[in-house]
Structure 1
């Protein structure tokens, strides 16, 4: 999976509140909706814990598709977090940024995916350093929209 760095979080932009409807929406059978607005929700404040260390990246490729990351998705990456086993991380491998899951197989660390078409990448034997941890993935569902 290749990545394009889109930029940093704007830490001086005024908050933008989007109405948050109270209650939950069922993903199964329809139910009566709660017909009121609970509050305004600032997505930056909700999704980003460390604005000065957070970047947006665009995913390219299919290696993480079975992890829910599709070609063209917008990734929110926090560089202040420590990469741990099981995290989806942005790793610089031999000078190239890639998005994979940090895994341990036996006593060695690898970058893995759940897409069977891609083999694990051992961290030993490569020039590697963690660039950040993917905290959120924004995936477009409506045709004709982009993020």
Structure 2
């Protein structure tokens, strides 16, 4: 398994989902009143087909920290990251900044690039020519434990 590590994120290839298939009930699960169980129709669901569009360029990473809680990314959540997607304003991106991986919302305009946390306890980061900076990939999904 190919891994990349920093204090903030550990990135790895999605080999763990290879040939996985879980039971999938293709009906809406009510968050209100329950519906009769015999309405369910069981199919097989492959998470790699659902979450991974580009196998060669997709990685997973665990979130470390609280800077993106406003975007629903909590400590220990699993991110699905696609390196083939184009970075764009307002996308959530995994970036390599001055020797560390970080996940932030991209803010791009004529004046420059900023990395916007989704928690007011953390500062906005302005990218300058002095930074060692690479947009590593775009977050496409998040997997959470409940």
TM-score, normalised via structure 1 length: 0.84
What is the aligned partner in structure 1 of residue 4 from structure 2? none
CA distance in structure 1 between the partners assigned to 2:144 and 2:17 by the alignment: 25
Task: Find the aligned partners of 2:47 and 2:17 in 1 and give their Cα distance.
Answer: 15
Shift of 1:31: 3.5
The reply on whether 1:121 has 2:112 as its aligned counterpart is: no
Q: Give 4+ residue runs of structure 1 displaced > 4 Å after superposition.
A: none
Q: Which residue number corresponds to residue 23 of structure 1?
A: 27
Residue correspondence of structure 1 range 60-139 to structure 2 within 5 A: 60-104=64-108, 107-124=111-128, 125-139=130-144
Count of aligned residue pairs for this structure pair: 138
SS at match of 2:49: helix
Counterpart CA distance in 1 for 2:15 and 2:72 is 26
Q: What is the deviation of 1:34?
A: 5.4
Compared with structure 1, are the counterparts of its residues 68 and 11 closer, same or farther at alpha carbon in structure 2 (3 Å cutoff)? closer
Which range moved further: 114-123 or 100-109?
A: 100-109
Change (3 A) 1:23 1:33: farther
Unmatched segments (≥5 aa) in structure 2 = 1-6
Aligned match of 2:15 in 10, 13, 22?
Answer: 10
Which is helix-richer, 1 or 2?
A: 2
The whole-number CA distance in structure 1 between the counterparts of 2:8 and 2:68 is 11
